[in-house]
Structure 1
């Protein structure tokens, strides 16, 4: 949820400032860009050098740089951030936030911020419980800021109770959950298939195809960005799935069928992009077949059509999409597949289009829906093609 997000992290004067190092590291690890803004008091608890090293950006403390006089533009910073997080938020800083007192760079950035603001208080038990602090917290929430509640435990004073800043891992989880709540596919479960299947001939050899799985993996990653809970059933591939994806590895068409039929009933949508084998050997040799005769025949039988099976299981409200990779009569074949398998839309691509098909980083797709409305897209990266496909899924699920 935090990948690519631009985060302004405000660090205030508090013993909990040492947690800021871990917080910055976790945010950067999650793929966020982090700009740290510190109060002068905060630099007494943790050095700007530490946080600049972890964030890979200069830490800002003053309105301007003493050596050059260059202005640290708080207005630009307020526009830059996708979200602002003040952690630790001291009682002093929260009082300034509540009253609009602006006597340092952090407060100037806060008052200029156009993005959502989160604050994680850190102070001793009596300070946290004091009526003035609670009044300021209530004001901040009323202003539209989001409180990340403090935890309970041993405090720096030696007392034990509420007031300690939430742990960095808890803050990252909190931010991810809050961001996900606002995404269009939050609480939606989507099943995606990807890659080839391998149909064993003997312990060494198999029948397979050239699918790399890139398209399905790109779709799964984009669905996560839209807030969906994604289950990815993938055939053999060297690709790595990203965070937030429940991955199920399979080898054969029969294994993919089992995984899909087990997971499909509990999903809101399914995008079947895997290149599943249409045929599998009738008999699998228990030992490696030796090369002897000039000719060699393998008897094959049809595999179960997974897409058609799911189409027969589909309930009202579920969205089911398939792929059609064609070499001739492309549109006619795709429409036939769309209608015979009870799909909501089909993604057509042709091996006649340069840059489309297996083992490429690009794809050229046409989406045809059940009303036979056709949308033709230009050649794009598979990541961008995934956006088009997932936008169609989103439109159907949120209609």
Structure 2
């Protein structure tokens, strides 16, 4: 499915969704009538009129990431598997994608018969492989070697967690037997109880951008906008409680659970909380290295134009048409890297670069390179 780069309406819609507050009952602000998202391992997504859904993509809030990952792992190990993915359209209609892997062949079936504004057809393509491409701000699953589709590829699922596209992202984490400790990036304070007589408070505390990006990624992967199954009571006497409040854009979300919660959601959120706690105890680098990753789209003199955090499918779509199109027409970020020995690189290389100083301007930004290397070619990790 080809991406619509000038997707202003979709981006506006996503902003409205993430800005919604959750109620005390923990309802998902983006749930629609007839669908109920939950991350419970034993309960699959429920979509009106569609049975046996494994993965549900509700405008970027994705439930069932583990099932997508398991299907990919099974394919890597030659284990026959099936997977059903549902993507909601902006209008709220479900489009079904069925994957069937058997004997080194992936059958991809698209069913748009429930989409009022779609083709209303069921189509099938045969592909040879499935690629998992992980970037700093997104993870994509792309079918390759297909009998149809753009460049013999089809993007099955993209999980985006680009913190830079959020207007606001702050955390308030309380933890302990009585939630007596706190890490708060909004008030820029860390409070820790040392013993019964001593409490230590640190002011002007900030998490680095890289750490915040990692926290946001983990929250997205944990489907933090979904209706989660978090438990606050258990029999263990050594457990501690957690309370997490996430401020996102114009809204917030609240979560309360115990470390003894061994359910899928509880384990994920405990790992997120412990990661934040660990980072709060470490010295945050004031001027951390800026590292960018992406595909080279143009080579000119000693300058490279790089599409930041593109996947291979995005690159193939962009590499030709970008020559005659203004960069502002796309939702992607671009950067011109200067001071590069261009003889060592070519269009289509996926690179990772450490920036010298700061990035100036936007679309494309401009920066000088301190160090740059090619990444492992995508083709070499296709099964």
Instruction: Give TM-score, length-normalised by structure 2.
Output: 0.21
Larger helix percent: 1
Instruction: Give TM-score, length-normalised by structure 1.
Output: 0.21
Larger strand percent: 2
Bigger Rg over Cα: 1
